[in-house]
C-alpha cells in the first residue's frame, strides 16, 4: 500500500513535466498561440505557466512540498481550462475540459492526503519527529 501514493504522484506529474518542457522548446509558437487566444503579455504568462508546471510537477515526482506544488498546478489548471478548453465556447474541448477537472481532483486528493510514505515530505516529518523524541529524553 505504501507504493500507491508514489504511483499516483507519478501519474499526476508526468503530464505537467512533459508539457512544461515542451513549452520551453516551443516557446515562440506557444506564446503566439496564447496571444491568439487574446491573452495579454503572453510571454510573461508563458514563463509563469512553465514555472508552475515544472515546479509543481517535480514537487509531485519527488514528494517534496506536495501541497504547495499541487496548489501551483491548480492555479495553472483553472485559468488554462477555462481559456483553452472551455466546452461552452467549443464543444470539441469537452474531453480536455473533463481531463483537467480530473487532474484538479487528483491534486486536491494530494493536498488532502499528503505525499505518502515514499516521499521527501515524509522523510522530513519522520526526522523532525525523531528529533523531538530525542530532545525530550
Q: Extract the C-alpha cell encoding 5.
A: 501514493
The predicted pLDDT at position 132 comes to: 67
The predicted pLDDT at position 34 comes to: 96
Q: Extract the C-alpha cell encoding 101.
A: 477537472
Cβ neighbours, 10 Å, residue 22:
13
The predicted pLDDT at position 124 comes to: 82
What is the C-alpha separation between 119 and 55, in angstroms, rounded? 16
- How large is the C-alpha radius of gyration of the chain? 18
Residues of the chain with pLDDT under 50: none
Domain containing 104 equals: 4-136
Domain count, the chain: 1
User: Which DSSP symbol is given to 86?
Assistant: -
Amino acid at each position: 500500500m505504501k507504493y500507491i501514493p508514489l504511483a499516483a504522484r507519478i501519474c499526476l506529474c508526468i503530464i505537467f513535466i512533459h508539457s512544461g518542457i515542451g513549452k520551453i522548446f516551443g516557446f515562440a509558437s506557444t506564446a503566439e498561440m496564447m496571444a491568439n487566444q487574446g491573452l495579454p503579455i503572453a510571454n510573461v504568462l508563458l514563463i509563469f505557466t512553465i514555472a508552475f508546471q515544472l515546479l509543481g510537477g517535480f514537487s509531485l515526482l519527488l514528494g517534496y512540498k506536495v501541497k504547495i506544488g499541487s496548489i501551483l498546478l491548480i492555479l495553472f489548471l483553472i485559468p488554462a481550462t477555462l481559456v483553452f478548453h472551455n466546452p461552452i465556447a467549443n464543444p470539441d474541448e469537452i474531453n480536455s475540459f473533463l481531463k483537467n477537472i480530473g487532474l484538479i481532483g487528483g491534486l486536491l486528493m494530494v493536498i488532502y492526503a499528503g505525499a505518502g510514505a515514499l516521499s521527501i515530505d515524509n522523510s522530513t516529518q519522520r526526522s523532525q519527529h525523531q528529533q523531538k523524541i530525542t530532545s525530550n529524553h
